[in-house]
C-alpha cells in the first residue's frame, strides 16, 4: 500500500511541476493579444483549466502526503526523538569527576607550571 502511494506521490509531483511550468505568467506578451483565432482554447479558458488542474493536483498531493505520514507513523512506531530519550534514560549515570586519590586527578587539580621560562 505504501509503495503505491509513494509512486502516486512522485507522479503527482511531476505532474504539478509540468502544469506549473506550462502556465503563462501575467507578463507574457504584455497583453498584446492572445494568439491567432485558430487556437483550440482561448487564453482565458486554458488559464482556468490549468488553474483548476493545478488546484486538484495540489489537493491530491497534500492529502497523499498526510496519508503517507499517518501510515509511516503506524508502521515505524516511535519517532527519532523518543528513541534518543529512551537511549539516554537507559544509560547508567557515570560520574565525570576524577577520584581524589588518583594521580591523574592531582595533576588536573594542580595549577600548570611554566617549564624553562620565567615570567617577567
CA–CA dist 53, 34 (Å, integer): 21
| Residue 24, pLDDT score | 77
Helix, strand and coil content of the chain, in percent to the nearest 5, comes to 65, 0, 35
CA–CA dist 19, 54 (Å, integer): 7
| Residue 89, pLDDT score | 74
Instruction: Check whether 70 has a pLDDT greater than 60.
Output: yes
Strand ranges in the chain using DSSP code E only, listed in sequence order: none
This prediction has a pTM of: 0.52
Stretch 47-53: mean pLDDT, rounded?
A: 87
Q: Nearest Cα to 10, choosing from 65, 70, 76?
A: 65
Q: How far is CA 45 from the centre of its chain?
A: 36
Q: Tens digit of pLDDT for each residue in 4-36?
A: 999 999 999 999 999 999 987 766 555 555 555
Q: Tens digit of pLDDT for each residue in 75-99?
A: 876 677 777 777 777 766 665 666 6
Instruction: Check whether 63 has a pLDDT greater than 90.
Output: yes
Phi, psi of 103 (to 5 degrees): -65, -35
CA–CA dist 11, 100 (Å, integer): 66
Amino acid at each position: 500500500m505504501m509503495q503505491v502511494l509513494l509512486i502516486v506521490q512522485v507522479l503527482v509531483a511531476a505532474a504539478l511541476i509540468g502544469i506549473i511550468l506550462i502556465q503563462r505568467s501575467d507578463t507574457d506578451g504584455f497583453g498584446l493579444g492572445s494568439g491567432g483565432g485558430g487556437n483550440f482554447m482561448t487564453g482565458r479558458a486554458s488559464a482556468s483549466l490549468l488553474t483548476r488542474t493545478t488546484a486538484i493536483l495540489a489537493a491530491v498531493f497534500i492529502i497523499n502526503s498526510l496519508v503517507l505520514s499517518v501510515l509511516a507513523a503506524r508502521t515505524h512506531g516511535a519517532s527519532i526523538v523518543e528513541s534518543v530519550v529512551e537511549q539516554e534514560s537507559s544509560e547508567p549515570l557515570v560520574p565525570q569527576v576524577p577520584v581524589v586519590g588518583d594521580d591523574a586527578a592531582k595533576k588536573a587539580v594542580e595549577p600548570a607550571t611554566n617549564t624553562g621560562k620565567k615570567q617577567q
